[in-house]
Amino acid sequence: MPDSGGSARALCPSLADELAMFSEFGTPTTVGVTEVDGPSGRVSVDTFTNEFWTSKQRAANRLHEVSYRACFKPQLPRFFIDRLTGAGDVVYDPFMGRGTTPLEAALAGRVPYGCDVNPLSEILVRPRLEPPGLDDIEARLAGIDSGATELAAEELAAEEALPDDLLVFYHPHTLRELLALRRYLLKREGDGALDAVDRWIRMVAVSRLTGHSSGFFSVYTMPPNQAVSVESQRKINQQKGQTPPRRDVRELILKKSRVLLSGLGNAERAVLSGVQEQSLLLTGPAAATPEVADGSVALVVTSPPFLDVVDYARDNWLRCWFCGISADEVPVTVVHDLSTWQEAMTDVFLELSRVLRPGGHVAFEVGEVRAGTLKLEEAVLPCGMRAGLGPVLVLINDQEFTKTANCWGVSNRAKGTNTNRVVLFRKR
Query: Residue 342's domain is classified under what CATH number?
Result: 3.40.50.150
- Domain annotation covers residue 343: yes
What is the torsional sign of CA 187, 190, 193, 195?
positive
Q: How confident is the model at residue 411 (pLDDT cuts 50, 70, 90)?
A: very low
Domain boundary among 235, 260, 285: 260
**For 382-387, what is the mean pLDDT?**
97
Q: What is the pLDDT of residue 334?
A: 66
Q: What is the pLDDT of residue 185?
A: 97
**For 53-59, what is the mean pLDDT?**
67
Asked if 68 and 81 sit in the same domain, the reply is yes
**What DSSP line would sit under 326-385, residue for residue?**
-GGGS-------HHHHHHHHHHHHHHHHHHEEEEEEEEEEE-EETTTTEEHHHHHHHHHH
Higher pLDDT: 2 or 134? It is 134
Give the separation between CA 254 and CA 138, rounded to whole angstroms: 7
Asked if 351 and 367 sit in the same domain, the reply is yes
Chain centre to alpha carbon of residue 295? 24
Asked if 280 and 420 sit in the same domain, the reply is yes
Domain boundary among 243, 260, 277: 260
333 has pLDDT over 70 = no
Asked if 222 and 82 sit in the same domain, the reply is no
Q: What is the pLDDT of residue 336?
A: 77
Q: What is the pLDDT of residue 372?
A: 61
Asked if 226 and 303 sit in the same domain, the reply is no
- Domain annotation covers residue 310: yes
Q: How confident is the model at residue 315 (pLDDT cuts 50, 70, 90)?
A: confident
Asked if 343 and 240 sit in the same domain, the reply is no
Q: What is the pLDDT of residue 403?
A: 39
**For 42-67, what is the mean pLDDT?**
86
Q: Residue 170: which region, alpha, beta or left (left: phi > 0; alpha: psi -120 to 50)?
A: beta
**For 219-245, what is the mean pLDDT?**
91
Q: How confident is the model at residue 225 (pLDDT cuts 50, 70, 90)?
A: low
- Does this model's pTM top 0.85? My answer is yes
382 has pLDDT over 70 = yes
Number of domains observed in the structure of the chain: 2
**For 160-178, what is the mean pLDDT?**
84
Q: What is the pLDDT of residue 227?
A: 85
| Number of residues assigned to the chain | 428
**For 59-72, what is the mean pLDDT?**
84
Asked if 290 and 420 sit in the same domain, the reply is yes
H-type alpha helices, 3-99: 13-21, 75-84
Q: How confident is the model at residue 72 (pLDDT cuts 50, 70, 90)?
A: confident
Asked if 338 and 393 sit in the same domain, the reply is yes
Asked if 102 and 153 sit in the same domain, the reply is no
Ranges of beta strands (E only) in 130-286 are 280-283
- Domain annotation covers residue 4: no
Contact by Cβ (8 Å): 77, 104:
yes
Q: What is the pLDDT of residue 30?
A: 97
- Domain annotation covers residue 403: yes
- Domain annotation covers residue 170: yes
* Radius of gyration for the chain, computed over Cα atoms and rounded to the nearest angstrom: 22
Asked if 105 and 43 sit in the same domain, the reply is yes
- Domain annotation covers residue 3: no
**For 11-25, what is the mean pLDDT?**
87
- Domain annotation covers residue 1: no
Ranges of beta strands (E only) in 30-139 are 30-38, 41-50, 90-93, 111-116
Q: pLDDT tens across 82-122, in order?
A: 999 999 999 999 999 999 999 999 999 999 999 999 999 99
Q: How confident is the model at residue 369 (pLDDT cuts 50, 70, 90)?
A: low
Residue-number span of the structural domain to which 18 is assigned: 9-130+264-426
| pLDDT averaged over every residue in the chain | 87
Contact by Cβ (8 Å): 90, 298:
yes
- Domain annotation covers residue 2: no
Q: How many CB atoms lie within 10 A of CB 110?
A: 26
Contact by Cβ (8 Å): 115, 95:
yes
Give the separation between CA 399 and CA 263, rounded to whole angstroms: 26
**For 177-199, what is the mean pLDDT?**
96
- 109 strand-pairing partners: none
Q: How far apart are the first and last CA of the chain?
A: 7
Q: How confident is the model at residue 138 (pLDDT cuts 50, 70, 90)?
A: very high
Q: Is 299 helix (H, G, I), strand (E, B) or coil?
A: strand
Give the separation between CA 106 and CA 78, rounded to whole angstroms: 11
Asked if 269 and 402 sit in the same domain, the reply is yes
% of the chain with per-residue pLDDT over 70:
83
63 has pLDDT over 50 = yes
Domain boundary among 260, 291, 323: 260
Contact by Cβ (8 Å): 96, 121:
yes
Phi, psi of 244 (to 5 degrees): -60, 125
Q: pLDDT tens across 261-298, in order?
A: 998 999 999 999 999 999 999 999 999 999 999 999 99
Asked if 176 and 85 sit in the same domain, the reply is no
